[in-house]
Copies of this chain bind each other. A is one copy, B any other.
Amino acid sequence: MNFSSKLLENAVNEISQLPGIGKRTALRLVLHLLKRPKEQTHFLAKSLIGLVDDIKLCKKCHNISDVELCEICTNHNRNEEIVCVVEDVRDVMAIESTAQYKGLYHVLGGKISPIEGIGPQNLTIDSLIEKIKSGDIKEVIFALSSTMEGDTTNFYIFKQIERYEIKTSTIARGISVGDELEYADEVTLGRSIVNRIPFENSLQR
Contacts and interface: CB of A to CB of B under 8 A. Distances in A.
Nearest to A96: B2
Interface stretch (A66-74, A123-131, A137-145, A186-194): A66-74
Contacts of A20: 25, 28
Contact of A30 (B34, B51, B96): B51
Interface residues of A, number: 58
Contact of A11 (B4, B51, B58): B51
Nearest to A19: B32
A50 B72 CA distance: 39
A4 B64 contact: yes
A89 B10 contact: no
Interface in A1-26: 1-8, 10-11, 13-15, 17-20, 25
Contact of A72 (B3, B4, B17): B4
Contacts of A15: 44
A78 to B, nearest CB: 13
Interface of A: 1-8, 10-11, 13-15, 17-20, 25, 27-34, 38, 40-55, 58, 63-66, 70-72, 88-90, 92-93, 96-97
